[in-house]
Structures are given as C-alpha cells and as structure tokens.
Structure 1
C-alpha cells in the first residue's frame, strides 16, 4: 500500500471518534490518521490526543476555532502534503462513511487521481436517512452536477481519496469554500484540470451519535457558490467524461 494519510475533521465528536478510529485501523492497518479538531467544546480534542499517545500512526492537528469543514480539510491536506504522503483520504468522524470500503477506494486510486465513495453510482445507497434528508441530498447533488456539467454521479460525496500530486494542483491558490460545497469545489477543480475521477459504490449510513453540522447557512453557501460557478462556466465547453467507475 502507498503512503496513506486519512484525514478526520472533528467538532463535538467525542462519542464517535474512538469508534471510527478503531474501524479505520481494522480496515487499513498500515495507514496513518490525522484528526483535525476545531477546538471542540465537548473534549474531542483531548480524546484525540489520548488516541495519538496510545496508537502508532495517529496524529492530531488542533485548530483554534470552528471554521468549517472545508477549512479543516484544507489544513489537514496541507499537513499531509508537507510530510510526503502519497494518498490523502477524506472521511467523516460520525461513521456515515464505511471504513470497510477503504481498501476498494485505495485500489481504485491506483488508476485515478480522485476516487469518490459514491452513494448515487450503481450499487451505492443510503441507509437510515429520513426521506426528506435523502430527497434534499439527491436534489442538491443533481443541481450541482447539472449546473456545473460534471460527469460525476456523487458530486457532493465526502468519502474520497486524492493522489498527492493532483491534490497539490487542486489546492493551488487556495480554496475559499468552507462548508457543504467544499466537495463540489474540489470536484469541479479536479475535472477542469483533467484529473481522472473514479467512483466506488458505498452504503452511506446516517449517524447514530452526535449532531449533524448541516445548517441553513451551509446550504445557502453551497447554492450561492454553485450558481456563481455555473454562470462563469456558461461560455465554456462541458467537461469530458473523467474515467471509469468501479
């Protein structure tokens, strides 16, 4: 296996963090983990520090305040790129992304610059989501995909593997997106830069502990940014298909 860093952003995930770390280590024992904690009031950062002292290959990056998912991932990615990791992985701390699918995503990264654990590609699905939440997610994903003309089934999916060289190019110049649209932003940048994108079907399971960080403000930022990107792209050609799906 290549030199892999799995980035886990956290904010008030004290109940979920030990569980997800255990599952990741069982699925990919050789990978390193970086917990990026945004000064969680519930003590998640202290739990992360304890895990780092007890478990080899677990690291912690403490941030001074909550600045959004995109900012946390950007900080984690830059930490990993500076230390020479070959593959960098996004995964949620709440257990909604199945770590057991990591080997399949990492295999797909052997032939792709970006691999997305996809809910909406054939074979993918969601479990235990309220019907309203699933409908909202499907509509948001479809809007982003069609507005930006992206040949990707799960544009908003947050379970991902990036090749380091591709990620360095994608992050060049900085990424302003902080919330839900961070995933859309990076997908758009990857496709426009000619990166090969593959999708691996997953079952996305709703969290069983803790509180979702989704909010009206996060959704508004996503809608506003996607619409602005779409208008800017109107005069350009549609991106070509990006690669195989697994």
Structure 2
C-alpha cells in the first residue's frame, strides 16, 4: 500500500511481551492510516505476542511479521526491520512503540511533515507536544537526557530520544545502517545525529505521548543511565573526531 506523494510506507513495531497491546495498537494504526503497512518485529516473546502477530498477518495482507530468535535490544530489532523493509522496496519506513504511547491517530502529522523532510520525529518537547501520566522523576530524566544530548553533540533536536519517526528510504541508505552499533535506547539518538550531520533535513512535529496502560515498561533508571553513559563515550569520541577533521583542513 502507499501514501499519496510518498510511495509505499510501512511502520515497524518491535515487540517483546506485548500480548496485551499488539492487536489493539495494530488495529488502531490500520484504521487511522489504511494506506500504511505494518511490520511487527517480535523478539521471541514468551507471552505469545508472536502468535497474535501471526494471526493478525493472516487476516490482513498489509501486516507482516518478522520473528527473531532472541532479545537483543530495541536498536537491533529496528535495524533488522529496516533491512527487511528496504529489501522489500518501501519508500518510507517508520518506527512506533507497541504499547500505545505513540498514537496512530497522530501519524498524519508525521506524514505531512515528511513531504519536506528526510526524517520526521514525533516530539514531546516542541511547542504543542506533551507527556501524559509520567511521574516527575521520569519526565525530568527524559528532558535532562535530551538537553545533555544537545549539549554534548551540538545538535538542535529537542527530542532526539523519541521513538515515533518516519524516514525516507534515501535517509536510511545515507546514514550507513551497517555501521550502527548502538542497540538500546541510545539507538534513537544515534540515527538522529547521523541524519543531521549528513546535512539531511530533520523535522519535529508535536505529539501527545501517553504512558502505557497495560504491560510493563522496558525503560528503567538503570537502562536510562546506561544510555547516558554510552552517549557520553560516543559523543566525546565524535567531538575528538570533529577536532581532528578541522585541524586536517586547516
């Protein structure tokens, strides 16, 4: 299926133990955007998510399922899904969570913005964006992490850690997915940074992010802390490379 003016579009939805949410969110997405395909990438969920996904795919040709044998992290699941989507010839490839925090009914905002951009991020932290039902500690952690990313990497993206996105296939081809080594939540920052530093057009549109109502969140203070450590090491390395490149041109 396709979106007028943009070509064939698919949303990649990674899952691990999302049996309470996957059918609900996929049906909302198909109703909100009938022209957008759905690819569920399941990391061998022990709660039966993969079986539910297979049933949905058997009932709707616009839904496909990729089964992975182990749980290797969010970034690894997305990279696998992106590879499958690129080989399938999709022109637009998106990301969204399975837990309902990203509302399919707001996907139209991202689609319209992609008409003049190479990557669009559904942002919690641009004017008009918001977060619903997060405790203050988690909100401060997220906002602080994004401020740290802007400070360390020198990019102006307000919500570099967000996971509601649309990429043009040309963007994914340009940012060299084969060299991406980040597999956890820092993966989102990595791809945003690669997009900006390659001179591609990144746009942010406001979304209302809603904390999951069912199932367990995969984010924790430990996960967030590890992500910030990785960003620090990676960011400092990138800054050193920038200095070396500037000196070599001098």
**TM-score band (shorter)?**
over 0.9
Aligned to 2:61: 56
Q: Secondary structure at the match of 1:173?
A: helix
Question: Normalised by the size of structure 1, how large is the TM-score?
Answer: 0.93
* Structure 1 residue 103, shift from structure 2 partner: 1.2
Q: Secondary structure at the match of 1:84?
A: coil
2:65 pairs with 1:71: no
Contact 1:88 1:163 in 2 (8 A): yes
2:238 pairs with 1:233: yes
* Structure 1 residue 136, shift from structure 2 partner: 1.0
Q: Hey, what's the Cα distance between the residues in 2 that align with 1:206 and 1:154?
A: 16
Q: For structure 1, which segment, 218-227 or 35-44, has the greater mean C-alpha deviation from structure 2 after superposition?
A: 218-227
* 1:194 paired residue among 194, 199, 202: 199
Question: Normalised by the size of structure 2, how large is the TM-score?
Answer: 0.91
Q: Hey, what's the Cα distance between the residues in 2 that align with 1:5 and 1:19?
A: 18
* 1:118 paired residue among 111, 117, 123: 123
* 1:31 paired residue among 36, 41, 55: 36
2:132 pairs with 1:127: yes
Aligned to 1:4: 9
After TM superposition, list the pairs within 5 Å mapping 1:76-95 onto structure 2: 76-95=81-100
Contact 2:14 2:41 in 1 (8 A): yes
* Structure 1 residue 219, shift from structure 2 partner: 2.2
Q: Secondary structure at the match of 2:175?
A: helix
Aligned to 2:47: 42
2:158 pairs with 1:153: yes
* Structure 1 residue 216, shift from structure 2 partner: 4.5
Q: Unmatched 5+ residue regions in structure 2?
A: 244-250
* Structure 1 residue 188, shift from structure 2 partner: 0.8
* Structure 1 residue 171, shift from structure 2 partner: 3.4
- The 3 A distance-change label for structure 1 pair 190 and 115 is same
Larger-Rg structure: 2
Summarize deviations over 1:48-102 as a string: whole Å, max 9, x none: 0000001120000000010000000000000000011000000000000111111
Q: Hey, what's the Cα distance between the residues in 1 that align with 2:226 and 2:8?
A: 34
* Structure 1 residue 218, shift from structure 2 partner: 2.6
* Structure 1 residue 24, shift from structure 2 partner: 0.5
Q: Hey, what's the Cα distance between the residues in 2 that align with 1:216 and 1:66?
A: 20
